[in-house]
Homo-oligomer: A and B are copies of this chain.
Amino acid sequence: MANFYSEEPKHLLAVDCVIFGFDREQLKLLLVKRVRPPEKDQWSLMGDFLQDNENLEFAAQRILTKWTGLEHVFLEQFHNFSDINRDPGERVLSVAFYALIKIEDSDKELTKRYGAEWIDIDKIPKLIFDHAQMVEMALEIIKHKSRFEPLGFELLPEKFTIPQLQKLYEAIFQQKLDSANFRKKILSMKVLKKLNEKEKGVSKRGAFYFQFDQGKYKKLHESGLLFEI
C-alpha cells in the first residue's frame, strides 16, 4: 500500500472494555489489577492495543474472549478518550466499548486464572487513568439505551422469568418497579416466548420461563420502533 499520508503523525490506540454482567441480584463489572507499569497493581478495565491487522470491533472481541472465553458477545463502542496526558506512560488514545455478557456462560476458570473479578457496580474501587469516567459513561448509556432497545436480554440466561427480568431492570435503573405493570408492559411488546416450564426453588409458586424472540423483535423494529420500558 502506498504511503499517501507519510507526513501525518501516528498514535497509539488502546481498546478498553467496560464488561457488564448480572448475577440475578446486582449489576457487576469485570475488573482486573493491572499487570504492568505505569500504575501496576491498580484496578483497571480490560484493555489492549489495537493491532495493524484488526479493526476496533475485532480487538474488543479479542479482549473479551481472552478474559471470558466467550465468542459472540454484545459489544458496542461508545466513546473515545483522547486527552493528551490521560495515560501517564505515553500518549495513548482509548476507544471505550461496553459489553453485556451472561456471566454463567463465561469461563470462570479463565477469568480466575487472569485474576479478574466481578464487582458490584456500587462497590467499584478506584480505577487507573480515566477508567472511572469510562464506567460512569457506560452506565449512563446502558441506562438510557435499555429503555429503548432490548439490551437486557444480553445479560440474562437464554431462559429467564419475568421477575428475574424485572430485577435486572431495577438494577439498571436503580429503582423499584411495580411488578404487575412491568409484566403487562413487557408482555405487550410481544417479544417474549413463554416456555412450558417453571423455575424451581426460588418462589413457592414458581415463575414461568420465557425466551427473548429476536426474530419478532427485528420485525417490530423494522416496522417502526416499538420496544420501550
Determine if A80 is an interface residue (Cβ-Cβ < 8 Å): yes
Pairwise interchain contact A77-B79, C-beta atoms closer than 8 A: yes
Determine if A12 is an interface residue (Cβ-Cβ < 8 Å): yes
Determine if A11 is an interface residue (Cβ-Cβ < 8 Å): yes
The answer for the CA separation of A53 and B83 in the assembled complex, in Å, is 10
Determine if A132 is an interface residue (Cβ-Cβ < 8 Å): no
Chain A residue total in the interface (Cβ 8 A): 37
Partner of A10, one of B11, B80, B144: B11
CB-nearest residue of chain B to A89: B4
Determine if A38 is an interface residue (Cβ-Cβ < 8 Å): yes
Determine if A105 is an interface residue (Cβ-Cβ < 8 Å): no
Given contact pairs A37-B4, A56-B80, A80-B56, A50 touches B9 in the complex (Cβ within 8 A): yes
Q: Tell me which residues across on chain B come within 8 A of A178, comparing CB atoms.
A: none
One complex includes copies of this chain to the number of 2
Given contact pairs A56-B80, A80-B77, A80-B80, A90 touches B12 in the complex (Cβ within 8 A): no
19 contacts between A and B (CB under 8 A): A2-B90, A3-B90, A4-B38, A4-B89, A5-B12, A5-B49, A5-B92, A8-B12, A9-B49, A10-B13, A11-B11, A11-B12, A11-B50, A50-B93, A53-B84, A54-B84, A56-B93, A77-B79, A77-B80
